[in-house]
Amino acid sequence: MLYTAHVDELATLSFLVNHVLMKKERLPHSDTLEGLLMLRAAWDMVDIGNYQIYFFKWTAKICYVLALLLGVAIVTVTTLGTEIDASVGKVVISTSGVEQKGSQLITFLLSLAATFTASIQAFYVSHFAVAVWCDILLFYRTVN
């Protein structure tokens, strides 16, 4: 059903909103302690969730940018490998006595950093999923 009234008819609008559109008999006359505690628990869950989402959002952004930069650096080192090898020469790793070209060592270290970045991102994504699931389960148990 469609209800209409002119803006100048404040008394009609007040009656329409307060008695026709809003079903006051369905609202409780006072707030119970249980309802207020449930509302506080729900808002606590919202605040905790917002904090976690903010943290994980920035962690994901930083890891993504770092992964992109490391990928560009690996491609650059691979492309300029002959120039890097000519300027650096061979690098001897003292513990094992293995000789590696400078570009190989730089590529290995950049790949290691990219793998570390990917593992941090995977850890936080799984941690976020578990944290959200635990929060939902805790809220469900609180409500019931």
On whether residue 47 sits in a domain, the answer given is yes
On whether residue 135 sits in a domain, the answer given is yes
The pLDDT assigned to 95 comes to: 65
DSSP-assigned letter for residue 99: E
On whether residue 24 sits in a domain, the answer given is no
On whether residue 3 sits in a domain, the answer given is no
The pLDDT assigned to 27 comes to: 65
Give the chain's domain count. 1
On whether residue 56 sits in a domain, the answer given is yes
Pull the structure tokens for residue 54.
Answer: 């903010």
On whether residue 127 sits in a domain, the answer given is yes
On whether residue 63 sits in a domain, the answer given is yes
The pLDDT assigned to 73 comes to: 94
Total-model pTM? 0.56
The boundaries of the domain holding residue 136 are 33-143
Report the C-alpha gap between 130 and 138 in whole angstroms. 12
